Structure 1
Amino acid sequence: HFASPPYTTELAEQKVMDLLHKVAQYSGPITTYVVPFTELQEAIRDKCPEVYFTIIMRRYMMKIAEIIAKHQNCSALITGESVGQVASQTIYALGCTDVATELPVFRPCIGMDKDEIVRISREIDTFQTSILPYEDCCTVFTPKHPKTRPHIEEILEAEKALDSEALIQRAVEGARKTVIK
């Protein structure tokens, strides 16, 4: 989970933990990391073109998740993306996101439409929790007109403005681990 206080609240984090408790009934224990993401998001806001905010943010999430995953001996990343649900989930944007990590990225919901996802969330009793109105880091600094057909060369050029290594290192070092059962 990526937390961005003061832009996101403890209620947003609690919502995630509540959802994970429900999912853990099906999956077994879930090791969760809460990553401080505010500094990185503010750097992206201050130094990168607005049209790329969400894609760059998601690329950094993948980079951070990869470091944590490798420390936990994990061999892949899993996300809940579904093609076309939002601007950052176009084929082009997902392609730019995927090259941020060496690990394979699995997306079990990739071909599902919103109705299918809602139906499943109702079946596993996560729907009511998932619609609680708490801001998450993905809605912080959302561009007015996000680029839906980005090219990786443009993204890499925009990222040059960031002190990537230091920002990623501080985020990883600040992550808090919790095991949800």
Structure 2
Amino acid sequence: MSPPGADTVLVRHGDLNTKSNTVKRYMVDVLCENLEALLADRSIPGDVERKWNRPLIHTTEDAVEEATDAATDAFGVVSASPALTVSTEKERIIEALTEAARECYDGGAFAVDARRANKDVPYSSEDLAREGGDAVWAAVEDEFEPEVDLDDPDVTFGVEVRDECTYVYLEKRPGPGGLPLGSQEPAVALVSGGIDSPVAAYEIMKRGSPIVPAYVDLGDYGGIDHEARAMETVRLLSEYAPNFDMDVYRIPGGETVDLLVREMDKGRMLSLRRFFYRAAETLAERVDAHGIVTGEAVGQKSSQTLQNLGVTSRAADLPIHRPLLTRDKQDIVAQAREIGTFTDSTIDAGCNRVTPDRVETNARLEPLLAHEPDDLLERAEEAAKNATLVAP
């Protein structure tokens, strides 16, 4: 909801405020670059300005809603508000609140949240909030009986008085939070045709790490539909990061999957995951990434018990990051829907077709090594070296 004449987006960040001044300046610069890229990618008119410790997007009234939506897709943004820019004169602020009330306030309890960074103005925040509240009340009392609730209002009229101007807004639209994308080192993200891995990739991006997407081609156990789903989820993730390369490394794994199905029964899925991890680690060395990201969660599948995760993780020396480790499936599905990566889950996942009748939930490394192909990890390294780039 925008006040009449809104022409600016106030962008707020959170974790950046915990950093040293030097690091914070760097991260705000990265955030501004990402905001500019999102606006350009979506053909939204607007100029990004770094101002009083937070970015501003100067745009038009027609585009302010789209610009706000773009801002709330930027990693590192806690919230954003479409706002009207007026002078610091109290009379002009009161006029803006009156007009906003007449146009946008049609019932429920309200509050005026006034903040004053410019201490040179001849009024206090309390004065402005009180007089602003009176103005809102007077603007609508002929239409309905307004109600004031300072603790839990239905509508909050926000006012921020700064050095040169004042911003009036009606909502704080939530963003993803986290850190600006590109402020941390990249990681290889293993993506599949399932629900979990793109959400895990999104979560690591949210902490500032660009991803290098990698898809393991399972041959006959994957198929065109499975790969198409993986590519589509990466394409959707790339909309949050238009200034980052999101081409997918396709790692050939069909021959190895066939081998595991023929030669292994118990522990087969664990050896397949060991293949994934070593391939991802080899790719990470190739692209100078600093970790591996997966969508695993404790106990979600038989291969994801704590014991099994410990065994499979030993196939790689790089850290394996699992952002969804303690998440419930329904929460992951809800987030997949929210970020747009949820797709038809009735399509069989390739690794499900590899699963043997008898699953291993409490593996030990030595017995597993005795049953898996001796050259499994060498196969993984070779497959990663032969990986090809595919545009999502």
TM-score (norm 2): 0.43
Q: CA deviation at 1:179?
A: 4.6
Partner of 1:88: 303
The code of the aligned residue for 2:229 comes to K
Deviations 1:107-154 (A, max 9, x none): 100010011101101111112x25251432x12321112110001111
Shift of 1:164: 2.9
CA RMSD of aligned residues (A): 1.8
State how far apart, in whole Å, the 2-side matches of 1:109 and 1:12 are: 21
Report SS of the residue matched to 1:147. coil
Task: State whether residues 282 and 381 of structure 2, in contact with CA within 8 Å, keep that contact through their aligned partners in structure 1.
Answer: no
Decide which structure has the larger Cα Rg and report it.
2
The structure with more helix, counted as a fraction of residues: 1
Secondary structure of the 1:2 match is strand
Q: CA deviation at 1:9?
A: 1.5
Q: Equivalent residues in 2 for 1:102-117 (5 A)?
A: 102-117=317-332
Q: How does 1:8-47 map to 2 (within 5 A)?
A: 8-27=222-241, 28-47=244-263
Q: 112-121 vs 27-36, which deviates more?
A: 27-36
Contact 1:11 1:134 in 2 (8 A): no
- Which residues in structure 2 correspond to 1:56-67 (within 5 Å)? 56-67=271-282
Q: Higher RCO, 1 or 2 (CA under 8 Å, sep at least 6)? A: 1
The alignment-based identity, stated in percent, is 28
TM-score (norm 1): 0.88
CA deviation vs aligned residue, 1:41-73 (integer Å, no higher than 9, x gap): 12222223x110000000011011100111000
Aligned partner of 2:366 among 153, 161, 164: 153
- Taking the aligned partners of 2:367 and 2:279, their CA distance within structure 1 comes to 21
In structure 2, the residue corresponding to 1:168 is in which secondary structure? helix
1:34 and 1:40 mapped to 2: Cα distance?
A: 15
After the TM superposition, which segments of 4 or more aligned residues of structure 1 sit over 4 Å from their partners?
none
Instruction: Tell me the amino acid that sits aligned with residue 108 of structure 1.
Output: P
1:163 lines up with 2:163 in the alignment: no
Flag structure 2 segments of 5+ consecutive residues without an equivalent.
1-214
Q: Following the alignment from structure 1 to structure 2, what is the Cα–Cα distance between the partners of residues 73 and 94?
A: 25
Contact 1:64 1:168 in 2 (8 A): yes
Structure 1 alignment gaps of length 5 or more: none
Number of matched pairs = 176
SS in 2 for 1:30: coil
Q: Which has the higher strand share?
A: 2
